[in-house]
Amino acid sequence: MQTPVFERIPNGKIQLHDHVNDYLRGITRQWLLVAPHANSGMLEMFRDRDRQPLRNLVPWAGEFAGKYLTAAVQILRLTQDTELEKYIAGFVRNLISLQDEDGYLGPFPRQHRLTGWAPNTGKEGGRTWDAWGHYHLMLGLLLFHEDTGDKLALRCVKRMGDLFCKMFLGTENRLVDTGSTEMNLAPVHTLCLLYKQTKSQKYLDLALQVVEEFSAKDPEGAPLAGDYLQAPLAGQEFFETPKPRWESLHPIMALAELYWITGEPNYRAAFEHIWWSIVRLDRHNNGGFSSGEKAQGNPYHPGAIETCCTIAWAAMSVEMLRLTGNSIVADELELTTLNSVIGLHSSSGRWVTYNTPMDGVRKASAHDIVFQAREGTPELNCCSVNGPRGIGLISDWALMQDEEGIVVNWYGPSVMKAKLDSGVSVTIEQETSYPQKGQISIRVKPSRKAEFCLKLRVPYWSEKTKATLNGKRVKAIPGHYLKLKQQWKPGDVVKLSLDMAPHYWVGEQECEGLVSMYRGPILMTCDRRFNDSDLADISPIDARKLVGKIVSSKDNYPPHLLMEFEGKVGTNLRLCDFGSAGEGGTPYRSWLKIDNVEKAAFSPLNPLRSGR
């Protein structure tokens, strides 16, 4: 069995003291603590699945409870909110009580369980994502068990796994034949996780069987599934594979788990190829993934950047970071989180978007995809229950460990705590206004003197990074970790000065003639509410004379970062962080008119094209 390079510190604590913490509080109070009661059908759909008349459900209705639970558990890891902790425990008890004797925990009637079809998905009936719904329930319950040790939660997951094995392992039935394979093959991921938890061979056997089904074809030779293993090994880009929709990222994550379980290098090679393919060809300037809910091989494509797609991308990137220990992956997670994930949330925490476009407006998912609303679940849709997980995922990658010591990936005012295998407790305090400014002071406080390695992420965009340890200069290389191994004592201080000079992404295809500008990890964006001119009338700015200053805003909803730049004809242009753009319902643009930016200008994509 292989060991991940990086792992989340299971007993670690992360307390964020910046605007992200404001989102955590809002999401907890305005969504997590109210959503199940305000949308009681989230669980009731499991209770009355066999009652007449049948509920009229969207094919993916069974996912809502699982996605909600996954997000809630990961948010709780960051907040340690006792009220939320009690609320989640009650939710889990109610959820488990709705599992049938055979292990089924879905919303569809008995004769259609895990068949991929049900009569209550429209007037004539149709395909269901029933296995997909079970996947999300299994994932949420496994995370809950991981944090609490709750045996009933694990038993519930095992019973779901047993049902899958009874129906599909070595029988004439195949999971791939249930249709909607990007979705319904996703349990292969949680079967791997369940095997690691229980060491029960049947779960691994079924996972390996499903991987074989990745390349299944129908009688006419057309692919039934995404060919997630053989296609990338043959060099195909992800958008060229048979099933490039975003849901495919969930079964793809099983490849990383299978590499750790079996040591088979092809699993790792395929997973890494897909990740690099997406980041090079389908990750947008705001860190979001997908165009019209799938990979297009074109990061300039104006199709909808769906919330669920970006969350899946962030989750996959966490697995890539665990697999490789590559700091560029952590840079990608920061880009996605501070721009797209923050941008898809209302600052109140009450709602998320369905689409968070590069240029456009922000619309709440509750009215953008209102077709998913049903009696008993008026606020529920795929994105509303999934969006908070994007912030909760910070708990997986902000503070990690490897065989040498502690890895710090998250920068911002915070207190992080970890316990080493030696028993030494280490507190890491950050004093900084990052990402507004690049100065970061990191105070290291071990409970006693101890030798270990502290690894600090040096972003690839920070070309001129300065670093000191207790006042002495140390060398920091962009796109790598600064490794500081020594006998640490309470009060040791590391100071980083990151290069916050503007860097650019020169647009092509649909964005030809336009430029995206970044300050550190922040995508600078023109929001109409901070400028006197309409977006169409904004004058270009000159990159050679670009001098900006941070300014304050008297807006009722002030942005996290607002900068003022001198325009081409003497007018002032104000740009805010992408995460804040459009908060008031105004249109915004992140692809801007910026003159005198060379094609070879430093771009977020440049190191990624050669970063393998």
Q: Is the pLDDT of residue 581 over 90?
A: yes
Phi, then psi, of 276 in degrees rounded to 5? -65, -35
Distances 138 to 179, 192, 193, 242, 562 between C-alpha atoms, Å: 20, 11, 9, 26, 42
Q: 3-state SS of the chain: helix, strand, coil percent to 5?
A: 40, 20, 40
DSSP readout, 239-290?
A: GGSS--BGGGHHHHHHHHHHHHHH--HHHHHHHHHHHHHHHHHTB-TTS-B-
Q: Percent of the chain, pLDDT > 90?
A: 89
Q: What's the average model confidence in pLDDT over 86-100?
A: 98
- Token reading at 431: 């004093």
Whether residue 314 has pLDDT greater than 50: yes
Mean pLDDT computed over 525-551: 89
- Average pLDDT of the residues in 153-175: 97
Q: In the chain, what are the domain boundaries?
A: 7-397, 400-497, 503-609
238 DSSP 8-state letter: G
Task: Please calculate the CA angle 289-290-291 and round it to the nearest 5 degrees.
Answer: 135
CB 24 within 8 A of CB 79: yes
What stretches of 410-454 show up as alpha helix (H) in DSSP? none
Whether omega before 521 lies within 30 degrees of 0, making that bond cis, reads no
Using one digit for the tens of pLDDT, what is the confidence trace for 166-211? 999 999 999 999 999 999 999 999 999 999 999 999 999 999 999 9
> Residue 549: how many CB atoms within 10 A of its CB?
9
Alpha helices in 371-442 (DSSP H): 382-386, 389-392, 394-397
How much is the average pLDDT of 344-350? 96
Q: Using the predicted structure, report yes or no on whether residue 478 has a pLDDT greater than 80.
A: yes
Choose the weakest-confidence range: 9-13, 183-187, 574-578: 9-13
CA atoms of 528 and 508, how far apart (whole Å): 24
Yes or no: say if 296 and 372 are a contact pair by the CB < 8 Å rule: no
The position carrying tokens 């753009």 is: 581
Q: What is the mean pLDDT of residues 401-409?
A: 96
Q: For the stretch 556-586, what's the b/e string if a residue is b when 16 or more beta carbons lie within 10 angstroms of its beta carbon?
A: eeebbbbbbbbbeeeeebbbbbbbbbbbeee
Query: Cα–Cα distance between 251 and 255 in angstroms, integer?
Result: 8
pLDDT category at 609 given cuts 50, 70, 90 is: very low
Bridge partners of residue 245, in order along the sequence: 294
Q: What is the mean pLDDT of residues 487-508?
A: 96
Angle, in degrees to the nearest 10, between helices 201-213 and 151-168: 50
* Structure tokens, 188: 């292969």
In the predicted model, is pLDDT for residue 600 greater than 70?
no
Cα–Cα distance measured from residue 488 to residue 473, given in angstroms and rounded to the nearest whole number: 17
Collapsed DSSP state (helix, strand, coil) of residue 118: strand
Q: How high is the pLDDT of residue 214? A: 98
Residue 599 has pLDDT above 70, yes or no: no
DSSP state at residue 99: -
3-state secondary structure 141-195: HHHHHHHHCCHHHHHHHHHHHHHHHHHHCCCCCCHHHHCCHHHHCCHHHHHHHHH
Q: Determine the Cα–Cα distance for residues 367 and 194; give it in Å rounded to an integer.
A: 37
Distance CA 520, CA 492 (A): 26
- The alpha carbon of 84 is separated from its chain's Cα centroid by a whole number of angstroms, namely 21
The per-residue pLDDT for range 353-366, each reduced to its tens digit, is 999 999 999 999 99
* Range 486-510 average pLDDT: 96
One-letter amino acid at 152 equals L
Predicted pLDDT at 123: 58
Residue 69: which of 53, 80, 85 has the closest Cα? 85
Tokens at 317, concatenated: 């990137």
The pLDDT of residue 347 is above 80: yes
Regarding beta strands 439-446 and 480-488, do their DSSP bridges make them parallel or antiparallel, or are they unpaired?
unpaired
Q: Which residue in the block uniquely carries the two structure tokens 């460990």? A: 401
Please identify, in words, the CATH class of the domain defined by 7-397.
Answer: mainly alpha
Tokens of 576: 């805010």
Whole-number Å distance between alpha carbons of 154 and 195: 12
Question: Does 241 score more than 80 pLDDT?
Answer: yes
Backbone angles phi, psi at 519, to 5 degrees: -120, 105
Residue type, 322: R
* Distance separating alpha carbons of residues 491 and 179, to the nearest angstrom: 58
Task: Give the pLDDT mean for 317-329.
Answer: 98
Domains 7-397 and 400-497 share a fold: no
Q: How many CA atoms lie within 13 A of 594 on its CB side?
A: 31
What does the pLDDT look like over 283-292, one tens digit per residue? 999 999 999 9
Residue type, 521: P
Give yes or no for residue 606 having a pLDDT over 70: no
Query: What mean pLDDT do residues 21-27 have?
Result: 97
The pLDDT confidence band at residue 612, using thresholds 50, 70 and 90, is very low
Amino acid 124: pLDDT: 57
Torsion angles phi and psi, residue 153, rounded to 5: -65, -45
| Average pLDDT, integer, range 581-599 | 91
Determine the CATH number of domain 400-497.
2.60.40
The tokens for 314 are 């962030």
Q: What is the mean pLDDT of the chain?
A: 94
DSSP β-ladder status, 515-519 and 7-8: unpaired
Q: What is the mean pLDDT of residues 523-546?
A: 90
